[in-house]
């Protein structure tokens, strides 16, 4: 009798991300680059929230901030097929990512060995058939060009996930917002159109009308993303503090990574409150297009509100399918954001069961999804701290070697001058022969004195470099044991708060680094953490756009 087959453990999901990096795209990058269940193949950029130059810069800066500069970035289309480009300064600012002083200056340039479309094709076609996903969170110009040039790729990929469109007509019960003097609308750029589809309606129509691609396409419309709000509780949770607090924690007690994403989301919250009257928190659209690819059980794919991972298998498999068309007639342009034109509107029709159409989720598990994002921030903090520890040991070893070499050379010269090797010269020789031994562990009090690295526009006082990378995650209630500093290993979150997702807001910064958490009720007056006198300030010189 043959032994039972061993079930193959699925590896991380391969994803290529195409984005116009603004505030919500930053969270999509974080989720794709720092979740262990995802293998990010690369990122292509497109105009949209801002010009292509800005969105490419923003993409590189976010990767710098989360220590994933190994991810290749390719600049894509700067304008639509046949229209003038549209931007969204009223929501994202002129740079596309306004509102933070913590964005580092990117050090790794965009790739230029191929155009963005060619880079996408190479990366996706190199994966096994039916395994890689393409995720789009901006205008669809790059994606449409890809499938026009390589139509067979539609059969090779696992699927296409798009953040775009707005259904309306009470497709969900999510609040859609309104402009001053208007009633409720379901579009966010015009009363009818969602911004990504509006930017290049011809590109969107070409993709939705492709039958080979439609059956593999998941559309994430505003009707879904407006159920995923970054509430005040969520915003505090992103800082690494569990539960509700009476006062805001001091920024000096929070890592630069968390401060960055906190500032990103609070700026987004202000603009959505000012423009659309959504005061409960901004809808954080783009990370949902990433999450649905590898955690579909957190989404509801039918009107009954049953997720893909539901115990009710019969209903869970009954995914609704839709035909989606895009209106391409009518006025178009940035100046027409309050126009009554229906250009860019998505027209959605429910198909009979068994049809091969586009999938559009109707609901989601917001708490679990925010938990995944918080876990990615913890992952980033630990990765930066571990890299700092390794860098510190490497610097110490290099400095020790240099000092011994210099001393040996000097003493050998002394020996040559005196007719023989002195005792001190022999000591230097012995030191040289043993310099391969590992250096002593760095002192936990200063995190090993890692080499300084200037990162413009973030951390410390204006224009000053960070003391070391470990200081990015060092706060008054977060310390690393001597063992952790020596071994460069850090405990993972245990149990249901594991890194691949867990109950949101039940994991704080101390727990993510293996420390006993400081309960809010035991903090100083105002429920604020005392500032570490050795920690850097939260200011910093702003980057040049």
pLDDT, tens digit (0-9, with 9 covering 90-100), for 233-246: 999 999 988 655 55
- Cα–Cα dist 406/535, whole Å: 35
- At the topology level, CATH places domain 13-229+278-364 in Inosine-uridine Nucleoside N-ribohydrolase; Chain A (3.90.245)
Q: Is the Cβ–Cβ distance between 142 and 118 less than 8 Å?
A: no
Higher pLDDT, 102 or 514: 102
Sequence-ordered strand ranges (E) for 20-158: 38-45, 73-75, 132-136
Tokens 């925010």 correspond to 370
**For the residues 157-186, what does the mean pLDDT come to?**
84
Share of the chain above pLDDT 90, in %: 55
Element (H, E) at 313: helix 313-316
Digit-coded pLDDT (tens) for 221-234 = 999 999 999 999 99
Catalytic residue set: 285
For residue 455, pLDDT beyond 60: no
What angle do helix axes 23-34 and 256-276 make, rounded to 10 degrees?
Answer: 140
Strand 38-45 with 322-326, pairing:
unpaired
For residue 299, the model assigns a pLDDT of 98
Q: How far does Cα 51 stand from its chain's mean position?
A: 20
Digit-coded pLDDT (tens) for 90-134 = 899 999 999 999 999 999 999 999 999 999 999 999 999 999 999
Binned at pLDDT 50, 70 and 90, residue 86 comes out as: very high
For residue 514, pLDDT beyond 90: no
For residue 245, the model assigns a pLDDT of 56
- Cα–Cα dist 475/173, whole Å: 41
Quote the tokens at residue 224. Answer: 């879904």
CA dihedral (508, 510, 515, 517) positive or negative = negative
For residue 240, the model assigns a pLDDT of 87
Closest CA to 235 of 211, 255, 265: 265
- Cα–Cα dist 372/192, whole Å: 32
Digit-coded pLDDT (tens) for 292-330 = 999 999 999 998 765 544 444 444 558 999 999 999 998
* No. of helices (H) and no. of strands (E), the chain: 18, 10
**For the residues 206-212, what does the mean pLDDT come to?**
97
For residue 158, pLDDT beyond 60: yes
Arithmetic mean of pLDDT over the chain? 78
Q: Is the Cβ–Cβ distance between 380 and 244 less than 8 Å?
A: no
Quote the tokens at residue 327. Answer: 């209106």
For residue 448, pLDDT beyond 50: no
- Cα–Cα dist 522/527, whole Å: 8
Digit-coded pLDDT (tens) for 396-410 = 667 666 665 655 666
- Cα–Cα dist 396/419, whole Å: 34
Binned at pLDDT 50, 70 and 90, residue 469 comes out as: very low
Sequence-ordered strand ranges (E) for 303-415: 322-326, 346-350, 363-364
For residue 499, the model assigns a pLDDT of 42
For residue 178, pLDDT beyond 60: yes
Q: What is the DSSP string of 114-127?
A: S-HHHHHHHHHHTS
Contacts of 481 (CB under 8 A, 6+ apart): 444
For residue 445, pLDDT beyond 90: no
Q: Is the Cβ–Cβ distance between 138 and 22 less than 8 Å?
A: no
Q: 153-164: b or e for each residue (b if 16 or more CB lie within 10 Å)?
A: bbebbbbbbbbb
SS3 content of the chain, % helix, strand, coil (to 5): 40, 10, 50
φ, ψ dihedrals at 40, nearest 5°? -80, 110
For residue 540, the model assigns a pLDDT of 39
For residue 529, the model assigns a pLDDT of 34
DSSP-derived secondary structure letter, 344: T
**For the residues 362-376, what does the mean pLDDT come to?**
97
For residue 28, the model assigns a pLDDT of 99
Q: How far does Cα 124 stand from its chain's mean position?
A: 20
Binned at pLDDT 50, 70 and 90, residue 259 comes out as: very high
**For the residues 145-153, what does the mean pLDDT come to?**
98
Q: 193-202, 382-391, 472-481 — which is least confidently predicted?
A: 472-481
Share of the chain above pLDDT 70, in %: 65
Higher pLDDT, 341 or 477: 341
Binned at pLDDT 50, 70 and 90, residue 253 comes out as: confident
For 515, counting Cβ atoms within 10 Å of its Cβ (0-12 exposed, 13-18 middle, 19+ buried), the class is: middle
**For the residues 476-494, what does the mean pLDDT come to?**
38
Contacts of 328 (CB under 8 A, 6+ apart): 201, 202, 205, 343
Strand partners, 19: 45
For residue 475, the model assigns a pLDDT of 40
For residue 331, the model assigns a pLDDT of 82
CA 184, 186, 191: angle at the middle one, nearest 5? 80
Half-sphere exposure of 234 (CA within 13 A, CB side): 23
**CA 194 vs CA 376, 490, 541: distances in Å:** 28, 43, 34
Quote the tokens at residue 196. Answer: 């990504």
Contacts of 157 (CB under 8 A, 6+ apart): 124, 130, 132, 133, 134, 216
Higher pLDDT, 498 or 275: 275
């Amino acid at each position: 009798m043959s032994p039972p087959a061993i079930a193959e453990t699925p590896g991380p999901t391969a994803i290529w991300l195409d984005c116009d990096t603004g505030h919500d795209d930053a969270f999509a990058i974080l989720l794709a680059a720092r979740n262990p269940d995802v293998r990010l193949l690369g990122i292509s950029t497109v105009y949209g929230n801002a010009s292509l130059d800005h969105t490419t810069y923003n993409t590189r800066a976010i990767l710098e901030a989360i220590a994933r500069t190994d991810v290749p970035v390719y600049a894509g289309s700067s304008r639509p097929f046949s229209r003038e480009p549209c931007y969204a300064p009223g929501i994202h600012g002129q740079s596309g990512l306004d509102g933070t002083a913590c964005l580092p200056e990117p050090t790794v340039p965009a790739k230029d060995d191929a155009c963005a479309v060619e880079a996408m094709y190479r990366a996706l076609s190199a994966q096994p058939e039916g395994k890689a996903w393409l995720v789009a969170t901006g205008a669809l110009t790059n994606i449409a060009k890809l499938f026009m040039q390589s139509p067979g790729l539609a059969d090779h990929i696992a699927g296409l996930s798009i953040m775009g469109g707005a259904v309306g007509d009470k497709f969900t019960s999510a609040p859609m917002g309104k402009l001053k003097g208007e009633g409720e609308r379901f579009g966010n750029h015009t009363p009818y159109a969602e911004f990504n589809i509006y930017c290049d309606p011809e590109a969107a129509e070409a993709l939705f009308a492709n039958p080979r691609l439609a059956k593999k396409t998941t559309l994430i419309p505003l009707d879904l993303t407006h159920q995923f709000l970054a509430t005040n509780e969520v915003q505090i949770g992103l800082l690494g503090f569990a539960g509700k607090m009476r006062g805001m924690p001091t920024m000096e007690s929070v890592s630069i990574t968390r401060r960055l994403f906190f500032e990103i989301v609070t700026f987004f919250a202000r603009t959505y409150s000012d423009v659309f009257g959504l005061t409960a928190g901004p809808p954080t659209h783009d990370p949902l297009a990433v999450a649905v690819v590898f955690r579909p059980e957190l989404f509801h794919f039918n009107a009954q509100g049953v997720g893909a991972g539901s115990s009710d298998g019969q209903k869970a498999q009954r995914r609704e399918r839709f035909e989606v068309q895009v209106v391409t007639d009518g006025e178009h342009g940035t100046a027409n954001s309050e126009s009554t034109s229906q250009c860019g509107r998505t027209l959605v029709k429910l198909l009979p069961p068994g049809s091969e159409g586009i999938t559009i989720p109707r609901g989601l598990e917001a708490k679990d999804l925010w938990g995944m994002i918080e876990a990615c921030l913890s992952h980033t903090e630990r990765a930066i701290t571990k890299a700092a520890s390794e860098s510190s040991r490497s610097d110490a070893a290099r400095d020790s070697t240099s000092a011994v070499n210099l001393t040996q050379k000097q003493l050998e010269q002394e020996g040559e001058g005196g007719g023989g090797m002195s005792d001190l010269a022999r000591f230097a020789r012995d030191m040289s022969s043993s310099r391969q031994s590992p250096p002593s562990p760095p002192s936990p009090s200063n995190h090993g004195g890692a080499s300084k690295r200037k990162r413009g526009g973030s951390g410390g006082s204006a224009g000053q470099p960070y003391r070391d990378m470990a200081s990015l995650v060092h706060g008054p209630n977060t310390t690393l044991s001597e063992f952790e500093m020596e071994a460069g290993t850090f405990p993972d979150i245990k149990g249901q708060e594991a890194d691949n997702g867990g109950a949101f807001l039940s994991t704080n910064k101390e727990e993510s680094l293996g420390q006993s958490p400081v309960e809010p009720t035991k903090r100083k007056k105002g429920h604020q953490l005392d500032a570490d006198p050795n920690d850097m300030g939260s200011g910093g010189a702003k980057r040049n756009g």
